Each structure stands twice: as C-alpha cells, then as structure tokens.
Amino acid sequence: MRVVVQNDKFRARLQRVALRSGLAALACAAVVSGCSAPGTDPGSGGAPGRQPGRGGPDRPTDPRARLAAEHERLVAATRRWDLDQVPLTPPAPPAVKPRITPRDGFEVDGQREENLPPVFTTVPTRQKVVFLTIDDGDNKDPDFLRMMSDLKVPYSAFLSNYLVKNDYGYFRRMQSEGHTLNNHTLTHPYLPGLSYEEQKDEICGMQAVMKKQFGKAPTVFRPPYGDYNGDTLRAAKSCGIRYAPIWDEEVFVDHWEYRDDDRSLHPGDIVLTHFRGRNDWNGTMVDDMRRFLNKVTRDGYAVARLEDYL
Ligand SMILES: [Zn+2]
C-alpha cells in the first residue's frame, strides 16, 4: 500500500509549530515526505534526526531524533494496519476548556436552573479535531487494543456492565494505555421508560461498579440509544455525572451515518461506534477503525481525547 503525504495545510501548521518550538527539523521529520529539500529547513539544514556539526550521528537523547524515530514508527504502524494515511497528530489539550452547553433542542426542563449535565453532540472548538467514542463493550478484540496503541489514537469507552463484566481486565488494559472509561448504565435499558429511582439505580449502580473495577467513578455518561428525559439527567447528576455527550456521526464497519443534513464532519464532532466484531457486522473492530481513521484523516481531522476538552 501507499502512505500518502499529509495535506498541505497540516504540513504548514506543523512547520509553524516546529519553528516556534525551535524544532525546525520536526517539520520535515513529522510528515511522510514532501519537505525534504534542505533549503526548506532553516534550522539544521540536515536530515531529520541528525545534528550536523554537533556530533554527527543520531543520538537517542536528542529530542529531534526521538521525534523523527517516533514518526517513523507511526509510518510503519500505518502500513501495518493498512491505513491510507498516517493519522494526524492532535493539538495540545486546550489550556482553557470550552464551555459545554446542551445542543439546541436537547435541553430538558430545569436544565439551566438545576445545572443538569448537558447533552451535546459537538464540543465547541475551531480546531480540526473529532472525538472517538465506543459503546457497550461486547466485542473484546485484542487486535483493536494493539492497533490503537500502535497508532496512538485516543478514544473514550462507554461501558454497560452486563457486557463488560465477563472481562474487566480487557478494559483495564485500555485504561492503562490512557483511554477513558465512562458510564453507559448497568443493563443498557431505554431510560425514559424507567422511573427516576430505577434510572438512578442504573446510573449510580454503574458508577459503583466502575469505582470498584477501574478505581474511579467517571463524570461522563451516555444514555443508551441517546434517549433520556429530565429524570435521566437529574439521576445522572446525583451520581456525580457532569456531562452527557451523545454523538454527531456514527461509523459502522461498512458505512457512516450523520445526524446533520450536510453529511460531513465538523470541528469538535463526537463520533460513535460500538465494540462489535464479525458476529455483529461484516468485519472486525480493526476494519471499523480503518474506515474511521481513513475518513477523518482524509478530511483533515485529528482524533483528540474528549475528556481533555471537558
Ligand atoms: Zn449502547
């Protein structure tokens, strides 16, 4: 397969960032190709990872060499997982978190007065980032863990206990690699069909499981099917939940679905997929992630960590 060069805008941004931080060679090192002419590199004028006049060959302690080596590693991972392009590197987490408000039309009565967790599909940001969220927890494919850690793609898992309880260890591995585990109820019911107390049992019950199994109760919760009412958000708040993200796009192994008529990604969009395998659809989690990453990269988006923006 062929690894395609990142888009020009991204390359320009990388070069700006690199110059600002005095790492001119990174601008070349961090893209697959396309800026190899020494004249474009006002820093060292040398190949990435080398420091002419400062000792010659690569030194593992040199930050530029480390960055170049890391990029080479990423290019190899891109080939190994058969992606079209190297995934774009997300910007640093925002120093000032955006103010998250409910999506228009997704508020409940008392939303503002009771300071209920907002239901939203997009994080307000101008950065070309999207957030990957993966629900339920049925399929537990070790290749998926390997792929995402190889490619350094962050994601948030929304777990429902009845599907994850046969292998909490799988999700602990995720957590140990820096991914976030969030609440998706004990048994995945249609919450608006339940009383306040029943909803509270579903949400607070899952908080307790997560605290016990994963060491902490999350502040982020997603109602199953994206369905909720005022009681859902009230119950969630009482269990320590602060945010109720749903999604703007959903990716399946063989197609995408869009909430908005323009059928395209927007900065800050939350993308949903599910832990599914060949029993559920015509492919593996790896195939699903390949579809996801190929599109977001092609459209110029990096995948960032949702919780960094909350
Ligand atoms: Zn679900």
For residue 167, CA distances in Å to 110, 212, 217, 221 come to: 39, 14, 18, 21
Contact 304, 154 (CB under 8 A): yes
pLDDT tens across the length of the chain (310 residues) = 444 434 434 444 444 443 333 333 333 333 333 333 333 333 333 333 333 334 444 555 788 999 999 999 999 999 999 999 999 999 999 999 999 999 999 999 999 999 999 999 999 999 999 999 999 999 999 999 999 999 999 999 999 999 999 999 999 999 999 999 999 999 999 999 999 999 999 999 999 999 999 999 999 999 999 999 999 999 999 999 999 999 999 999 999 999 999 999 999 999 999 999 999 999 999 999 999 999 999 999 999 999 999 9
User: If DSSP states are collapsed to H, E and C, what string results for 218-261?
Assistant: CCEECCHHHCCCHHHHHHHHHCCCCEEECCCEEECCCCEEECCC
CA 188 – ligand 1 centroid, Å = 6
Residue 133 pairs with which residues in a beta bridge?
156, 272
Name the architecture of domain 119-309. Answer: Alpha-Beta Barrel (3.20)
Q: Answer whether 0.85 is exceeded by the pTM.
A: no
d(CA 35, ligand 1 centre) in Å: 44
Residues with CB under 5 A from ligand 1 (ion): 135-136, 224
Q: Tell me, what DSSP letter sits at residue 194?
A: S
Write down the number of H helices and E strands in the chain.
9, 9
Cα–ligand 1 centroid distance for 22 (angstroms): 45
CA of 157 to the centre of ligand 1 (A): 10
Q: How far is the CA of 184 from the centre of ligand 1 (A)?
A: 7
CATH 3.20.20.370 positions along the chain are 119-309
- Distance from residue 61's CA to the centre of ligand 1 (Å): 45
Q: What torsion, rounded to 10 degrees, do the Cα atoms 257, 259, 264, 269 define? A: -110
What phi-psi label fits residue 88: left (phi over 0), alpha (psi between -120 and 50 degrees) or beta?
Answer: beta
